[in-house]
Structure 1
Amino acid sequence: MENSWKIVDRRGEDRGIHSLELEWWVNWESITDDYYQSEISAQELMSMWLKKMGDEENVKISWMVSSVSESAPFTGEDEDFLSFYRWPEHAVTGERLNWLTLPVQDKAWNDTRADKGGFFQEVLGWKPSPLQRTLHLPTLLSAAGLR
């Protein structure tokens, strides 16, 4: 029951106990929508994405609370999870959620999975920290040995 959170909406209606996870995506990762993993490699997708990004250095990261499909709080969106729900509390201890401790979704682009944007984690061995709002592309590519 480590990742078990009581969700209550703004009207006070109990929405149950949920495991919460942060789902992330970056601009233009939707290039994966046109392919199956059998058609193109993660490296080829990364090359296409980098070409699409051009000289852009700071790339926006968007976040969603996956089990309730609402934008994560503190990410600059006009409406987010806290617009519709109260602050989650742990199902056993009653402790308020620290959003920065939620697990971040793993993504893959390989023989068994074809996640949108999965090429990032496959090629770079990277995923963002919880609620990270941007990635600095030159730094990330340098750290991965790609530039």
Structure 2
Amino acid sequence: MTESDDRVGVTAPPHDALREQAFDLKRLRAERGNKSYNAIKKRAVHLFGIEASLPPSTQSAAFNGKYVGLDKLMWLVRTLMSWDEYGDECDPPEYRDDRLTIWRTRWAAITESRTLSPSRPSKRIESADYRTKQAENGNQPLGDKEKVHQRSTEYSTVQPYPAGTLWEFSYKKTGFTQVEELVLYAELNGSTITDDHLPNEITAQALWRMWVTEYADSYHERWPDLYRPGEVHISWFVTRPTIDGIFEGAPHVRDWRTLPGVMDDFPMASVQEDSLTHYTHPVNAETKEPINWLRLRVLDLGWNSSAANKGGFIQEATGWKPSPLQPTVDVRALGAAAGLYVTPLKK
């Protein structure tokens, strides 16, 4: 750690603290054998399970001063500490080891600074509603477009929950209650090809071409009665906006593991589980209204200089993301609409 560890991140802007965190991560990596991204990824899964996946994109973000969630940071630090100064394997520190306290403290300070950082003032743009009110007050004439807008906004419709909406739910086994913002996370079949790449190594369009070539018809070829040519299955998860702490299957969708023949050797895995298997039905923390899963925000995923999300190349290349709990997408239609390469239909 640097000399500022006792005051890290308290007053410094978040980008300064992130740079310091990245410096310390790089130094820790160098001190523990300078392992490759792939070695770190495999070691993390071996030590902490598949949920502790640290793809190269996540590691690159952390080592280069980008913000990552607390769970991912802790997995990365503990994994690096699972090698000694000679690069030999050793036991990783326990979750509450004192050596990890400074990392958590700095992460909390960074997170708080990011939350409190003032946003840039936006340029004021007068809306049609504003012009309508002005016209009603005699300040300006009401044009045809404003009249149409006035008629079209007489009725309100149900909208997605606003960002920051908090939900209260309890873990069924212990009764432990949490209050969290929840979002939906979509993962298209095969989109995890990003785990082996970084945005500065391959473009979203190149990843798209690789993906549709390999996966456009993979579900149809295996389950022709369930999927049409070009249909790709979408898996859905409930998580936090930072994709950490909570990551459970979303309810009311088909789990790909329950498809015929997928888990024949593991009968228990054919029983579909989701967030409601382990947690009570979330209710609004203020109004106590039960959640409507179709109104949850679908998390944006990117693949560029500032984002390296798993599967983020799809939204980056097409500008599209699925609707809440959408079960499949026709990638040929999607690619054609976006002007991207699509594989020809097989005869």
TM-score (norm 1): 0.92
Runs of 4+ in 1 over 4 A off after TM superposition: none
Structure 1: gaps (5+ residues): none
TM-score, normalisation: structure 2? 0.40
How far the C-alpha of 1:12 sits from its partner, in A, is 7.1
Q: Measure, in 2, the Cα distance between the counterparts of 1:36 and 1:61.
A: 23
User: How far apart are residue 123 of structure 1 and its match?
Assistant: 0.6
Are 1:65 and 2:65 matched, yes or no? no
Shift of 1:46: 0.5
Asked if residue 50 in structure 1 is aligned to residue 212 in structure 2, the reply is yes
In the alignment of these two chains, the number of paired residues is 147
Identity %: 41
Q: Identify, as 1 or 2, the structure richer in helix.
A: 2
Distance 2:301 2:250 in 1: 18
Quote the residue 1:140 is aligned against.
Answer: 334
* Deviation of 1:137 (Å): 1.6
- Counterpart CA distance in 1 for 2:164 and 2:247 is 21
Alignment match, 1:9: 171
Q: Which has a greater percent of strand?
A: 1
Query: Deviation of residue 47 (structure 1)?
Result: 0.8
Q: Which protein, 1 or 2, shows the higher relative CO under an 8 Å CA cutoff with sep ≥ 6?
A: 1
Residue type matched to 1:84 in 2?
H
Instruction: Tell me the CA shift for residue 69 of structure 1.
Output: 1.0
1:70–1:54 distance in 2 versus 1, CA, 3 Å: closer
The equivalent residue for 2:152 is none
2:318 matched to 1:124?
yes
**Structure 2 CA distance for aligned equivalents of residues 50 and 140 of structure 1:** 11
Runs (5+) with no aligned partner, structure 2: 1-162, 218-228, 241-245, 256-271, 343-347
For residues 169 and 289 of structure 2, the distance between their equivalents in structure 1, rounded to whole angstroms, comes to 13
Structure whose alpha-carbon radius of gyration is higher:
2
Please name the residue that 1:38 is paired with.
Answer: 200
The correspondence of residues 89-104 of structure 1 with structure 2, limited to 5 A, is 89-104=283-298
